[in-house]
Amino acid sequence: MNTVKRQVGKCLYVPQMVDKVREMGVEQIARVEKQFPFLDQKLPSDKVSEGERDKRLKRIEAMATGLDNIFPWCPIPIGIGSILGFIPFIGGAMGSILSLYQTYGYSLFVNKVRHTTLAIATNVV
């Protein structure tokens, strides 16, 4: 079976197609970076002490735990996000807002580049 796949791959010129698509992707990324130069800027960094940094990390972890599994003794993970999911429209919007707030807190904690934070936020929405 593998020899058949290999022969079909050779006939279709798959390695050449992959290289061509990869080059096109690199060109598209370069074009977008030129068109939107602000995407490479970092979020505002603030000098924080270790205590403040630990406090932020605990807040982010607490929010993640609350959204995913608020009752640790329950065999089924029930969190605020799943409870809000039972409310049509409003529950989904509230869950998205809480998740976006968590993403914002994470981005301030690690000081990620803006386009990485935007990619994470689009996955939430």
Q: Distance between CA 103 and CA 119 in Å, rounded?
A: 10
User: What pLDDT digit, counting tens, does each position of 47-62 carry?
Assistant: 667 787 788 888 888 8
User: Which residue is listed with tokens 């869950």?
Assistant: 95
Which stretches of the chain score pLDDT less than 70?
1-2, 5-15, 38-48, 109-115, 124-125
Predicted confidence at residue 14, as pLDDT, reads: 62
CB of 110 closer than 8 Å to CB of 43: no
Instruction: Give me the residue spans of the domains in the chain.
Output: 1-35, 39-124
Q: What is the CA radius of gyration of the chain?
A: 22
List, in sequence order, every residue forming a beta bridge with 42; answer none if it has no partner. 113
- What pTM was estimated for this model as a whole? 0.53
Asked if 105 and 52 touch (Cβ cutoff 8 Å), the reply is no
